[in-house]
Copies of this chain bind each other. A is one copy, B any other.
Amino acid sequence: MSYPISIGIVLFPGVTQLDFTGPYEVFTRFPHINLYLMSESLEPIRSDRGLTFLPDTTFVQGPNLDVLFVPGGPGINAKLEDKDFLQFLKTQGEQASYVTSVCTGALLLAAAGLLEGYRATTHWLFLDLLAMFGVEVVKKRIVIDGNRITGGGVTAGIDFGLAIAAELFGETLAQEIQLQIEYNPQPPFNSGSPDTAPADVLKRVQAASRDMQETRRQIVQRVISGESTGDTSGKLR
């Protein structure tokens, strides 16, 4: 890996914006990098909850990446069965120095065959789906296994960004960035993990997520069995 380091953020409609805007705020404070917001086209991209932003290059036109970074969100459902998209991840991931994700972006990496046999994590609601891909799932906020670096749900992206900072540029720069962005978190409640949330809160969030979990489970089963319409060969995992 040589300087400037090329970092690509992989975007798609229905991405959860904080999955990548957290890391983006950290990445853009790195020295000697070229950062790419990559998408299928240069059209504006609408996140799952409405924020619309502009990519700066396409999957086809972008360069080979040193760091491949994939955020998650409801939009992964379509991408889990998008053969061209998964092939893009696979091609980039196989030559990248780092293959990384936040939230359910890990499911996309796994569907592209980039996490099999690795330790990795994802949003707490979808850990079991990640395991279906032959990933050694770890319930931690950030999991580093060789050159695979994966983060938990949504806000884990900030911790993830700082971990990447330390990995690429050392602890001092990571600490400087942490101070610049005043990352001295003080959540007003202690409800950020299924292990600490009040029981009724956990139950309500689980109930509200059940349909999405079931839909995704079916998609993952199709992907694994090679029955996805986008991948009838069963080889693109």
Interface residues of A in 149-174 (CB under 8 A from B): 152-156, 158-159, 162-163, 166, 171-172, 174
- Indicate whether A186 reaches chain B with its CB closer than 8 angstroms: yes
Cβ of A171: which chain B residues have Cβ within 8 Å of it? 189
- B192 engages A179 (CB within 8 Å): yes
Q: How large is the interface on A (under 10, 10 to 19, 20 to 34, 35 or more residues)?
A: 35 or more
A35 within 8 A of B: yes
| A16→B28 CA distance, assembly (Å) | 11
Tell me the complex Cα distance, A194–B181, Å: 11
Given the complex, which residues of B lie within 8 Å of A158, measured CB to CB? 155, 185, 187
Interface residue A95 (Cβ < 8 Å from any Cβ of B): no
- Our pick among B51, B186, B193 for the contact of A179 (Cβ within 8 Å) is B193
For residues 122 through 154 of chain A, which have their beta carbon under 8 Å from a beta carbon of chain B?
123-124, 141-142, 152-154
A153 to B188, CA, bound (A): 16
**Residues in chain B near residue A159, CB distance under 8 A:** 185-188
Among B21, B187, B197, B202, the residue within 8 A (CB) of A185 is: B187
A201 adjacent to B179 (CB under 8 Å): yes
Assess whether A25 is interfacial by the CB under 8 Å rule.
yes
What separation, in Å, do the CA atoms of A52 and B11 have in the docked complex?
14
**Contact string against B for A residues 191-232, beta-carbon threshold 8 Å, 1 for contact and 0 otherwise:** 111101110111011000000000000000000000000000
Do A178 and B154 have beta carbons less than 8 Å apart? no
- Cα distance A51–B18 in the bound complex, in angstroms: 13
Q: Given that A22-B18, A54-B53, A201-B176 are known contacts, is A182 also in contact with B166, CB under 8 Å in the complex?
A: no
Further pairs besides A28-B49, A28-B50: 7, Cβ < 8 Å: A17-B25, A24-B49, A155-B181, A155-B184, A174-B189, A175-B189, A183-B192
Interchain Cβ contacts under 8 Å between A and B, 19 examples: A18-B24, A22-B22, A25-B49, A28-B50, A29-B49, A53-B53, A141-B186, A142-B188, A154-B181, A158-B187, A159-B186, A162-B188, A163-B188, A174-B189, A178-B187, A178-B192, A178-B197, A179-B201, A184-B187
